[in-house]
Amino acid sequence: MNGKVITFFLITVCTAAGICMLFFGISGAVHQNQITKSYDTIDGYFTDYSIYSSDEDGTTYRLTYSYVLNYQEYTVSTDYGVGSIPEPGSVKTIKYNPKNPEEAVIVGSNQNSFLILMGILFTFVPLFIAYGALTTFGYLKRFPEKVVSIGIGILFTVIGVGIIYLTGRWFLHSGSGSVS
């Protein structure tokens, strides 16, 4: 099989996977935001953990936070795995349904954030590879190089700022920074 065909196929598959991840991540985040916009907030305290997954690369944990409302204790767990266990009693903001306090979510990063980040990577990295391949094969001779260079710089800046933002939010809300 021709190397160009294989390259095009892999770029197409990765880009399609990235677009799917972006779609599901963004739609999940919008859906969760719509559901929880009328929720109230309260401080939750880290109380327990369970193993989310374990393999040769390490173990990730599902964290459980407790919050007390009207003298009754409720718990909520992360919907993703984390690589470290916070200090007991670490604080996270919890959004709960005032009509049914058992319905709650932990504010901050969640599985939708991960899907969005991976979607960005799986969409744009293959497109950069495609640009490089098309330039190498001579198909983009008329496309101004400065425009592409500026676009790549802006894209990597946005991705970098996004990663720093998500990492900072995770750090602050994971209990390591103990922010209320």
Is pLDDT at 105 greater than 60 in this prediction? yes
**Percent of the chain at pLDDT above 90?**
23
Beta strands in the chain (DSSP E): 40-55, 58-69, 72-77, 91-97, 100-106
Indicate the SS3 state at residue 84: coil
Global pTM value? 0.64
The burial of 115, by beta-carbon neighbours within 10 Å (0-12 exposed, 13-18 middle, 19 or more buried), is given as buried
For tokens 């770029």, what's the residue? 11
Residue 91 dihedral angles phi and psi, to the nearest 5°: -100, 140
Is pLDDT at 84 greater than 70 in this prediction? yes
Is pLDDT at 143 greater than 70 in this prediction? no
Average pLDDT on 140-161 reads 75
Task: Read off the pLDDT band of 58 (50, 70, 90).
Answer: confident
At 73 the pLDDT is 94
Nearest-10 Cα torsion for 17, 19, 21, 22: 160
Is pLDDT at 168 greater than 70 in this prediction? no
At 169 the pLDDT is 56
Rounded CA-CA distance 1/23 in Å is: 32
